[in-house]
Amino acid sequence: MRLRDVEPADLDAYLRMRCDPQMMAELGGPLPPEGMAAKVARDVASAAADRDWIKMIALEDDATAGTVTLWNHELDGRAFSEIGWMVLPEYQGRGLAKQAVAAVLGLAAADGRWGLVHAFPATTNGPSNGICRSLGFSLLGEREVLFAGRSLRTSHWVFDTAPAAPPASAVPGGPGGGGGG
Ligand SMILES: CC(C)(COP(=O)(O)OP(=O)(O)OC[C@H]1O[C@@H](n2cnc3c(N)ncnc32)[C@H](O)[C@@H]1OP(=O)(O)O)[C@@H](O)C(=O)NCCC(=O)NCCS
């Protein structure tokens, strides 16, 4: 598995992911195909500007298996990082989503700008809640969120990508740090 930025040729994958009743069962139902070309164009531009990260999951044979998206928006009047993911049906159940989400969180931690990353899988989404749990997200509770204009009952998970503060003993002048000279 490798991650690559979204490209205009990903329209077909977008249609299969976002306009399919099975893929969208936990996301309020399929979206209309009419808006997808514009959505891909917006995502390509956003990725090219390094504003949002819209990563496609690519396999050894270059087949596209799914996507992981990390983006910034406002919630409750505050800047907010959110992550979401999708894997096409024929590639599900082999650990790809978990591996790709872990990889994006690792890149986000190295990048340093994303801080607390929030995820809102529907409370009934077994695999997605499993991914959050097993990758070390913390569960904050349940919350209604709007996704593409539809209200969903979700689990609110958060993962901290901010660099950990160094232990006090490693800070010059800190306890046991041996500084001060
Ligand atoms: C959610 C989704 C991305 C999972 O993709 P996937 O590649 O099949 O997931 P993985 O194989 O990485 O499995 C993830 C974890 O879920 C677990 N899992 C799989 N199916 C499960 C189920 N029905 N109930 C509970 N856990 C389940 C797996 O065992 C794995 O956990 P583990 O590694 O601790 O064993 C995929 O089903 C999907 O795209 N669904 C439609 C779109 C969607 O709902 N996206 C999420 C929006 S938040």
35: CA distance to ligand 1 center in Å?
26
- Alpha-carbon distances, residue 68 vs 23, 78, 86, 100, 113 (angstroms): 14, 23, 7, 7, 17
Q: Enter the tokens of residue 71.
A: 């983006």
Residues with CB under 6 A from ligand 1: 23, 26-27, 84-87, 92-98, 121, 125-128, 130-131, 134
pLDDT at position 170, please? 60
One pLDDT digit (tens) per residue for the chain, 181 residues: 999 999 999 999 999 999 999 999 999 999 999 999 999 999 999 999 999 999 999 999 999 999 999 999 887 788 899 999 999 999 999 999 999 999 999 999 999 999 999 999 999 999 999 999 999 999 999 999 988 889 999 999 999 999 776 666 665 554 444 333 2
Residue of 14, 16, 31, 87 to mutate, ligand 1, most atoms within 8 A of C-beta:
87
Would you list the DSSP string of 112-173?
----EEEE--BTT-HHHHHHHHHTTPEEEEEEEEEETTEEEEEEEEEEE-SPPPPPGGGSTT
CA of 149 to the centre of ligand 1 (A): 24
Backbone angles phi, psi at 161, to 5 degrees: -100, 5
Alpha-carbon span 129 to 77, nearest angstrom = 26
Pocket test for ligand 1, best of 26, 31, 98 (most atoms within 8 A of CB): 98
Alpha carbon of 113 to ligand 1 centroid (Å): 27
| pLDDT value, residue 32 | 95
pLDDT of residue 178: 38
Report the distance separating Cα 26 and Cα 47, nearest Å.
26
The CATH code that applies to domain 2-164 is 3.40.630.30
Amino acid 164: pLDDT? 73
Q: Check: CB of residue 148 under 8 Å from CB of residue 31.
A: yes
pLDDT in the model for residue 171: 55
Position 181 scores a pLDDT of: 27
What is this structure's pTM?
0.90
- For the chain, domain boundaries: 2-164
**Which letter does DSSP use for residue 30 in this model?**
P
